[in-house]
Amino acid sequence: MNLEMTFDDKMKPVNEQPDQKLCHKKAKVLQVSDLLKQYQANLTRQEHTIEGQILAQQQTANASQQKLKETIDTLTWELKEKTKEQEGLLQQNLNLQKALQRAANFSVLQVSDLLRKYQANLTHQERILERQILAQQQAANASQQKLKETIDTLTWELKEKTKDQEELLQQNLNLQKALQKVANFSGPCPQDWLWHKENCYLFSSAQSYWAKSQENCRALDAQLLQINSIDNLNFILQATSHSTSPFWMGLHRKKKNDPWLWENGSPLRPHLLKIRGIPSQAHPSGTCVYIQEGGIFADHCILNAFSICEKQAQLLPTE
């Protein structure tokens, strides 16, 4: 047998040996294993991202209101359940890697199909979880909005109640003041004075000349009678109808041709009084007017007569 080999013989392909085939399959298995490790790392990052999103939602819900705690607890429980499911999937992944290592003749195409199915299943679960998180967010936002509206309504009602309470307190204070005034009120006029509408009247029990009568009235924080209306005149005439004595009033004049003036300096209204008995001769003390037995007369101010003092009545103010 010819053992020599020509140059042409060296160029012919040598058939592959069984050991070379096994090495080629192991290389494919290592590539698949690397691919699974990369996918595992990517899956871990996705898990961390999802967990971070869920943790952020939990912190936001906890910061919003205690009422959302139950919702967050439910979401946390669901996350734990999903984590358990993912751990189970990871364990399946590890088992798959071991199975691939044991089965050297497992084809790359079959592994690729399995990975695509696994990826599709994982994506589906992620979408379900995202929808659940979104639903929880929407429910939390709706609950927060409803709580905010309730708080606004209660705040407005509290302000209105506070206003009503302040008004009632002010009314109570006013009533207490009015009650105190009524309790301390002894009447519109002092003792022995007659009350008529807005004024009080005192008929003196002693006679004096006009200037002295004026001093006596001023000592009582009053003035001599001043008639400003028919009603006022009728009251005085009725009050003096039981007496025949003269009563000085505040009307007077210094000289004969001077106008008649009241004590406060205001002039007489001619239509109110018709003065009779005016003396023809003037007197240094002046001429003063008095009322007697229903008539209005004038005489020298030096004469003695009773007097009528007048002051404003102390009426309770109407609030």
- Max CA-CA distance within the chain? 196
Integer angstrom CA distances of residue 289 from 200, 226, 234, 313: 20, 11, 17, 24
The distance of Cα 176 from the centroid of its chain, to the nearest Å, equals 27
pLDDT at 232: 94
> What span, in angstroms and rounded, lies between the C-alpha atoms of 302 and 319?
47
pLDDT digits (tens, 9 = 90+) for 14-41: 444 556 666 666 677 677 778 778 878 8
- Which positions ≥6 away from 250 have C-beta within 8 Å? 214, 223, 224, 225, 226, 262, 263, 264, 310
Q: What is the pLDDT of residues 40-70, one digit of tens each?
A: 887 788 778 878 887 887 777 677 777 767 8
Q: Which residues contact 315 (CB under 8 A, 6 or more apart)?
A: 188, 198
**For 198-227, how does the pLDDT look when each residue is reduced to its tens digit (9 = 90+)?**
999 999 999 999 999 999 999 999 999 999
**Residue 63 near residue 80, CB atoms below 8 Å:** no
Predicted local distance difference test score (pLDDT) of residue 81: 87
Is the pLDDT assigned to residue 163 strictly greater than 80?
A: yes
pLDDT in tens, 110-156: 656 766 776 787 788 878 878 888 888 888 888 889 888 888 998 88
> How far apart are the C-alpha atoms of 287 and 284, rounded to whole Å?
9
Q: What's the pTM value of the predicted model, to 2 decimals?
A: 0.45
Tens of pLDDT along 292-301?
999 999 999 9
**pLDDT higher than 60, residue 106:** no
Closest CA to 228 of 188, 186, 273: 273
Q: What proportion of the chain, given as a percentage, has pLDDT over 90?
A: 34
**What residues pair up with 287 in beta bridges, in sequence order?**
253, 300
